[in-house]
């Protein structure tokens, strides 16, 4: 069953129930309204920063866009791009594209004009929907997009080079289009993170999207009474695919446009959220704000919050221990996946396995896992190898890139590029990205292991370990450390703390700076290597002189 049928079912069964809510705290602050005032005002006064949509409205909006695309000549399998910040229209647009039989192509909101042009061209996008934040970037390339037939602007004050989305869909019927869609049809193109250059275009079938719904609902038991708080960007496969578990059973989603700790806690309280998906830095920030007294939990209604789960990166066990001390009644899970495997869930810890925090878990519902050597032969338990996964959520291919597809996809197995090991009791521990392994003096260093150790230091908010060039050892480990607000930390104190590590694992260079992360929470190590690697090379050259 294609995922579009779930939307039609929800609209039929729960048409008058709220499906989507958007909360925009920035608008609240512009009006100089406090969150306490927000909780006391009549809901009719929230229009500037809170909006909602029922299941019936959701389905009708999707149908109108689908019919507009069909009227413009878009046929099954053609591509439609989405360049929007998180907003109430995002998901109806996504599902409208799917209902037309076209492929949805979400774009990263951080892309530059040139990256936008590259991705639109690579994916053969013929229609683009974009929001007000992107007018300048799109205008700069609009005469360099020969494949684009139509551009629709989602917002007020439409620029001259596009058409107003709201006006154009208002002319279209809200009846479901008569397009036959099967599980084996192409559904979407998602782009890889692009950490090694321009991103690859990842093709997923409708089967993949449906698989993510079943996986998530099986893992976390969502019911129609659950409310899912979605904070990460919808262009990514992460949080959206977690909400798919609630979507499967008609559960509501709340889209929060902001990541400040108070905004998150206030929204959980005001909207009665039961499930919250966080990134490591956001969970850290919430706990720090509580410790500093900036958030008093007794001011909020949080008893209904039942599950906090994290993905996108390794999770420090110390963080979860600290979280459970503050929120002892929360179930906790961590999830592993890639855009190539329709996001999270290929491996998950499981709420029943809190005693194994530190592991990414076991094979998820409907998934198989292997850890293999360079020849793709299974390694023994306890040994480090590359993690491979198999299931209905694996991508079809990299679009127009057979060579890259063959490198990672063989006999249905997706070779992830992540190094991992399996314990004797069957739990998988992520060691590092294959390309991030540091080879120093012939020894393999796995930065994640060093990062996990350093995060045990109470003064450290975030840390990234990278390899820097060294004329004697080839590479050395450098730790970029972000110190918590209100704490101080010296290089000597870090070195003393690291005495508990084996000598070869101790960072040779300590750098105090902010740790950059992308919108999905991953540390931007290529940026750090470029920044500090160049400095190291200059220093080496000066030594030679």
Nearest residue to 65 via CA among 144, 22, 7 = 7
Q: List Cβ neighbours of 211 (8 Å cut-off, separation of 6 or more).
A: 342, 366, 391, 392, 393
Q: For 472-491, what is the mean pLDDT?
A: 89
CA-based max dimension of the chain: 76
Q: What is the pLDDT of residues 205-215, one digit of tens each?
A: 999 999 999 99
Nearest residue to 135 via CA among 170, 194, 85 = 85
Q: Which of 341-380 are b and which e, b meaning 16 or more Cβ less than 10 Å from the residue's Cβ?
A: bbbbbbbbbbbebeebbbbbbbbbebbebbbeeeeeeebe
Identify the sign of the CA torsion 122, 123, 128, 134. negative
Identify the pLDDT of residue 193. Answer: 66
Q: Is the pLDDT of residue 461 over 60?
A: yes
User: Cα(8)–Cα(286) distance, rounded to whole angstroms?
Assistant: 37
Q: Average model confidence (pLDDT) for the chain?
A: 89
| DSSP string for residues in 368-407 | EEEEE-TTSPBPPTTS-EEEEEEETTS-SEETT-HHHHHH
User: Cα(513)–Cα(461) distance, rounded to whole angstroms?
Assistant: 11
Identify the pLDDT of residue 524. Answer: 82
Domains parsed from the chain with CATH numbers = 4-305 (3.40.50.12780), 353-433 (2.30.38.10), 437-544 (3.30.300.30)
In the structure, what pLDDT confidence band is assigned to residue 472 with cuts at 50, 70 and 90? low
Which of 100-109, 305-314, 372-381, 535-544 comes out lowest in average pLDDT? 535-544
Q: Is the pLDDT of residue 482 over 90?
A: yes
Share of residues in the chain with pLDDT > 70 (%): 91
Q: What is the pLDDT of residues 231-251, one digit of tens each?
A: 989 998 877 889 999 999 999
Residues in a beta bridge with 476: 468
Contact by Cβ (8 Å): 115, 123: no
**3-state class (DSSP) for residue 161:** coil
Contact by Cβ (8 Å): 482, 453: no
Q: For 144-169, what is the mean pLDDT?
A: 96
Contact by Cβ (8 Å): 59, 10: yes
Q: Is the pLDDT of residue 229 over 50?
A: yes
In the structure, what pLDDT confidence band is assigned to residue 111 with cuts at 50, 70 and 90? confident
Strand 428-433, strand 438-440: pairing: unpaired
Contact by Cβ (8 Å): 275, 246: yes
User: Cα(200)–Cα(202) distance, rounded to whole angstroms?
Assistant: 6
Structure-model confidence comparison of residues 455 and 238, the more confident one: 455
């Amino acid at each position: 069953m294609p995922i579009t049928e779930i939307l039609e079912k929800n609209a039929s069964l729960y048409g008058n129930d709220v499906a989507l809510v958007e909360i925009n705290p920035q608008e609240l602050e512009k009006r100089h309204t406090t969150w306490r005032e927000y909780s006391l005002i009549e809901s009719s006064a929230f229009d500037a920063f809170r909006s909602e949509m029922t299941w019936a409205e959701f389905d009708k909006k999707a149908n109108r866009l689908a019919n507009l695309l069909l009227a413009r000549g878009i046929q099954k399998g053609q591509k439609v791009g989405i360049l929007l910040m998180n907003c109430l229209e995002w998901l109806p647009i996504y599902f409208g594209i799917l209902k037309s039989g076209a492929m949805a192509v979400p774009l990263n909101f951080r892309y530059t004009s040139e990256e936008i042009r590259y991705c639109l061209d690579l994916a053969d996008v013929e229609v683009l929907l974009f929001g007000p934040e992107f007018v300048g970037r799109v205008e700069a390339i609009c005469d360099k997009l020969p494949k684009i037939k139509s551009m629709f602007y989602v917002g007020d004050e439409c620029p001259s080079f596009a058409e107003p989305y709201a006006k154009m869909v208002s002319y279209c019927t809200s009846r479901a289009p008569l397009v036959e869609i099967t599980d084996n049809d192409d559904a979407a193109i998602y782009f890889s993170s692009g950490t090694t250059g321009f991103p690859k275009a990842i093709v997923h079938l409708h089967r993949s999207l449906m698989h993510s719904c079943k996986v998530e609902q099986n893992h976390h038991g969502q019911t129609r009474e659950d409310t899912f708080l979605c904070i990460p960007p919808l262009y990514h496969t992460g949080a959206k695919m977690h909400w798919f578990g609630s979507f499967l059973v008609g559960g509501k989603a709340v889209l929060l446009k902001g990541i400040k700790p108070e905004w998150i806690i206030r929204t959980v309280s005001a909207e009665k959220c039961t499930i919250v998906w966080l990134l490591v830095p956001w969970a850290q920030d919430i706990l720090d704000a509580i410790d500093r007294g900036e958030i008093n939990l007794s001011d909020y209604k949080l008893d209904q919050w039942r599950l906090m789960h994290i993905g996108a990166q390794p999770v420090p066990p110390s963080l979860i221990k600290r979280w459970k001390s503050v929120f002892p009644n929360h179930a906790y899970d961590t999830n592993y996946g890639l855009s190539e495997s329709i996001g999270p869930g290929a491996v998950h810890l499981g709420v029943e396995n809190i005693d194994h925090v530190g592991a990414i878990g076991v094979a998820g519902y409907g998934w198989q896992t292997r850890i293999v050597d360079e020849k793709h032969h299974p390694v023994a338990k306890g040994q480090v190898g590359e993690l491979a996964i198999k299931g209905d959520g694996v991508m079809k291919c990299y679009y127009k890139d057979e060579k890259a597809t063959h490198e990672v996809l063989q006999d249905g197995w997706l070779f992830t590029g992540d190094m991992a090991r399996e314990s004797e009791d069957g739990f998988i521990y992520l060691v590092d990205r294959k390309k991030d392994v540091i080879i120093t003096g012939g020894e393999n260093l796995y930065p994640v292991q060093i990062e996990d150790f350093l995060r045990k230091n109470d003064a450290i908010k975030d840390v990234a370990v990278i390899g820097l060039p060294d004329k004697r050892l080839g590479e050395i480990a450098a730790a970029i450390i972000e110190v918590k607000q209100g704490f101080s930390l010296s290089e000597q104190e870090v070195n003393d703390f690291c005495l508990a590590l084996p000598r070869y694992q101790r960072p040779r260079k300590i750098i105090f700076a902010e740790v950059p992360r992308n919108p999905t929470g991953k540390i931007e190590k290529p940026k750090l290597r470029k920044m500090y690697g160049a400095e190291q090379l200059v220093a080496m050259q000066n030594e030679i002189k």
